[in-house]
C-alpha cells in the first residue's frame, strides 16, 4: 500500500512537471511577441506550426534590403570612388 501511494505521488509529480513544461513552451513565444508589440516591433502572424512565419520574414528582409539600397545609393560606393575621396581629403 505504501509503495502504491509513493508511485502515485511520483506519477503525479511527473505529470505536473510535463504539464508545466508544455505550458511554458506554448506560452513563451506569446509572451515574447507581446513584449515586442509593446515596444512597437510587429511582425506577421505565424502561418505554419513548425516553420512559423520564417518565409514571410525572409521576404520582408529582402524587400527592405532592396528598398534601402535603392534609396541610399549603396552602389555608389566602390573602391575607386573611395580611393579618390580619401586622396582628395588627405592631399590638402
- The H-or-E segment that residue 27 falls in is helix 2-38
Whole-number pLDDT of residue 17: 95
Q: With beta carbons less than 8 A apart as the criterion, state whether 53 and 44 touch.
A: yes
Q: Report how far residue 17's alpha carbon sits from residue 19's, in angstroms, rounded to the nearest whole number.
A: 5
Per-residue pLDDT of the chain (92 residues; tens, 9 = 90+): 677 787 888 999 999 999 999 988 888 888 888 888 899 887 766 667 777 778 888 888 888 888 887 776 555 555 555 666 655 556 55
Place of cell 535603392: 70
Whole-number pLDDT of residue 12: 92
Place of cell 509503495: 3
Q: Report how far residue 83's alpha carbon sits from residue 91's, in angstroms, rounded to the nearest whole number.
A: 12
Whole-number pLDDT of residue 3: 78
Q: With beta carbons less than 8 A apart as the criterion, state whether 45 and 55 touch.
A: no
Q: With beta carbons less than 8 A apart as the criterion, state whether 65 and 58 touch.
A: no
Q: With beta carbons less than 8 A apart as the criterion, state whether 30 and 46 touch.
A: no
Amino acid at each position: 500500500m505504501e509503495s502504491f501511494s509513493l508511485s502515485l505521488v511520483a506519477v503525479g509529480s511527473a505529470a505536473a512537471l510535463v504539464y508545466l513544461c508544455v505550458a511554458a513552451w506554448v506560452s513563451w513565444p506569446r509572451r515574447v511577441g507581446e513584449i515586442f508589440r509593446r515596444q512597437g516591433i510587429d511582425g506577421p502572424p505565424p502561418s505554419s506550426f513548425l516553420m512559423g512565419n520564417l518565409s514571410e520574414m525572409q521576404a520582408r528582409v529582402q524587400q527592405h534590403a532592396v528598398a534601402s539600397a535603392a534609396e541610399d545609393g549603396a552602389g555608389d560606393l566602390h573602391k575607386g570612388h573611395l580611393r579618390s575621396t580619401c586622396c582628395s581629403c588627405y592631399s590638402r
